[in-house]
Structure 1
């Protein structure tokens, strides 16, 4: 320990006295290990950001987001699909004890417990070791969680009816008149829940593309067919006849024809 000159006494401590003020060391003292913020470091950051941005734009152009028809709150036949990072939760809601009467368990309680555990992890895990091999409980729980998320996401993608998903959101141009009283008073309340808000298909088949005769439509509505219930007794013969005439008159039109019709109206 140095004594005498060069020492400054502060209370009971001895602190080295510096002739020059202590300043941050110049970056040039560390050749090859550091660089100037401007322009070297900032330029690299800009180039990296530009590469990712251009890559993202290329992916967007190559695989644009699908455009679906206008959302209709009365169309209960439309089954929305969440983004890929929520597919595991979507799949969990299909299981027996997480759906139907147990929806609260699958939609709120189970995810709530998982996310609460993540928030409380710093307090629940008091182990001082940082290496994952020396933390078997935390490591095991994390591996199990990753396995569950991976499996349920895969299962949701593998067993989803993608053809129906594409069909139910597909834009269809037709001569359907949404202001027609028959559509508003009869079809919207009895048909759109299964056949879609524009009758282009949902959980039930498309009613626009096939050429249906009024007699065939009237027979289906009266007696039912397959999963379709019979409406005899719920609707009068005159109402069933009006629905049959309306549906039989539906046909697909081009986008230009649909635009011209809307403009004329």
Structure 2
């Protein structure tokens, strides 16, 4: 500014003089075919996502996932089971064409083709129509994928006793159970290393709790010798008299609790 010449303003070329407020494009000439991404389409996506999230959280609260017991590296008979969202792949490996000598086919090739097909679906079917019946390739791949995952998951879960797994691994507050450690049965229980898997008070450790079970003396004797579930046979190493004492001790503790 020079003296006597007044003030001079310099405009900024980064700001247009005729800048207007953002107004979504008018799609009224194409009803049902397209719409503005913001806010129309994005708002619908948010609403659907929120409803799904709330429903999923309610489901997890109403039906908590069963948890496995603590890992035990000394248990050679333990069969690990994947989480529910991997059960369909677990089931796939049970079939002859996808397991054994064909493990690579079932573990890598088939899942790779399936997920690769879903990934390539938008590139294979470039139709602009949003109706599923007008996009046969994408719709067919999605329906086939959903049916396969649901069916394989159902087949895998049908052979698992989820209630028994959940009950066996139900946590018991420390110190809430006290057993008769002076009995002859407890001495047998301790001598045969049962305490390592089932805890000092039968509360469960790497193995399930022995409190709250509904077995007779003869059934417990048979389990101790022949095993059950993840418990292998041959765990008991004692006389017939000691086996009787052990079984009676476990049954007596369950009657007391």
TM-score normalised to the size of structure 1?
Answer: 0.47
TM-score normalised to the size of structure 2?
Answer: 0.48
